[in-house]
Structures are given as structure tokens and as C-alpha cells.
Amino acid sequence: MSADLNVAELKALVRTVPDFPHAGIQFRDITTLIGHPQGMAASVRHLAALAKVAGAQKIAGMEARGFIFGAAVAVELGVGFVPVRKPGKLPIETIGIDYALEYGTDRLEIDPGAVSAGENTVIVDDLIATGGTALATAQLLRLAGAKVERALFVIDLPDLGGADRLRAAGVGVDALMDFEGD
């Protein structure tokens, strides 16, 4: 097996789409990263190494791109995966949390039996921007009894403050790469 791609090589695989979804926005598109076999594999291995150091007993990922990276990290570590879903997607009684968006609210739900009391659960997602979804995920997992002390992302957009919001809530944050000014 060849050596993993380094962070600079991974960052080069992320496509920037200007003016999407609005003028002035630089959209960071992971489609090119996950479509690159070595890039996807290296990203998962790097995230898994961070999750292992954090003592992950479960990995949680948010719909939809958190499923891509989170499930792969869980497989790499040999631990279970907790899908954090949009409302109405699970066929059982769920627990959920409403959270604020820029305009309005949204909701996340999980199977209440997906985590055990005190189970060290690490959040994995593709990108942290304002942090609203990740913060709601941490709160929801904690409501279910999980210990949530670490969140991992492929990309951080630090100027949007999401990682700082998570840290303020007692969740350490690591990202493989960041893009300033977005």
C-alpha cells in the first residue's frame, strides 16, 4: 500500500466553486475528494487516527455527507455508527432536538438506543461552518446519554466560527484542513 496523501495533497483535491449558492460565496466541494480513491481513503484514515486517539467507542455522522465519512471511519475503527437523521426518516420512536438556522429552524433525530450511557461518541462530518448542526448533534447525543468530547471534520471554515462554538460547548474540534475567508 502506498503512503497516505498528506493534508496539502488532500486540500488540493477539494474543488472550489465560486458564487455558489450565492454571489461572493466560495463553495468547498468534496465531490472531487471523495471521487478520488486515494484521497477518500487517506481522509478516512486520517480521521480514524484522530478518533482513535479520542477513544471513540461510537462514531456519529449527520445526514448526509457525515454519513459518507462517519460510516467509513466507524468501519476503519471497528466501532458502531450512529446516523443523525433529518426528521421523519427513522421508522421508530426517536429523540430529537430543534435548532436555529439563519432563517428558521430545523430538527435532528436519532434512535434513542443508538448510544449507551457514557459511551464515548465522536462526531464526524465533512465540513464545519457556523456549527449549528454539529452543536445540535452534540446536544442530541448527550441527551441520549453519550459522552461527546470530540468532533472531527474534513474541512473547517474558521472565519464562520463553528469550531469555536463547539469548543465553547465542551467539544474539542479537529479538522484535516481549513479554508480561510469563507
Sort 78 into a burial class: Cβ within 10 Å, 0-12 / 13-18 / 19+: exposed
Report the distance separating Cα 14 and Cα 33, nearest Å.
6
54: left (phi over 0), alpha (psi -120 to 50) or beta: alpha
Chain length of the chain? 182
Tell me the three cell numbers of residue 63.
445526514
| Catalytic-role residue among 45, 65, 142, 165 | 65
Peptide bond between residue 51 and the one before it cis (omega within 30 degrees of 0) = no
State yes or no: is 85 an active-site residue: no
State yes or no: is 65 an active-site residue: yes
CA dihedral 148, 104, 154, 112 (to 10 degrees): 30
Q: How far is CA 97 from the centre of its chain?
A: 17
Catalytic (active-site) positions? 65, 102
